[in-house]
Amino acid sequence: MDCVDQYVLSHFPERAASKRLAKRLAINRKIPAWIEKALLRNQAPSGPALELGCGPGGYGALWSRFSEFTILADIRRPFAMMAAAHGAALVCDAHNPPFRAESMALVAALNLLDVTPEPWLLLGQIDALLMPGGICVLALPYVANFNGPADLIATIKGARPELPHLSYAVLASNEWLPWTVPAGERLVHEYQVHALIARKLPV
């Protein structure tokens, strides 16, 4: 099972080859369910939504519920092509997205900040893309670039010297959302994801 297959199944458990694996992967629906409830309580302003590092596009329908228009972007062409079935999709580098500043009402980056070698650049780009009052949705399963959830929260509030201009209000935070990625029919990798939803404060 290659990387593409793993991520497709993590987004679409119903496509698993066996009912047993599909049932085990169904726990991944807890992340979008939690995000949906949080967004229902904290609406984004009117405008488009962008998901950076969208993978196969499993969250496209979710963002479309809370935006006028949804754009799914991934640097990997196979994922962007799959995502096109779930919204407007393109191949691009999340560190240099081809959009105007403050043009997005919602920007999501799930499982991306902790795998990039340039997390400060990526967070800076997310901030630049968001209009004042816009919503960012972040999820980190690995905690590779941040020393836990408190570190990420402090960062988006401007505590990091790399990004002192960031100014966000945390709307919802959950440190223990399960995420399972298959590595084979009888092997899965299980993670506890920290998901965070925050609003960009007007300057």
pLDDT per residue as tens digits for the range 145-172: 898 899 999 999 999 999 999 999 999 9
Least confident segment among 124-128, 149-153, 168-172, 179-183: 179-183
**Model pTM score:** 0.94
Q: Report the pLDDT averaged over residues 139-146.
A: 86
CATH class of 3-141+151-200: alpha beta
Query: Alpha-carbon torsion 54, 58, 64, 65, what sign?
Result: negative
pLDDT digits (tens, 9 = 90+) for 44-81: 999 999 999 999 999 999 999 999 999 999 999 999 99
By the 8 A CB rule, do 203 and 132 touch? yes
Which two tokens mark 151? 């570190």
pLDDT over 60 at 121, yes or no:
yes
Alpha-carbon distance 66 to 73, whole Å?
17
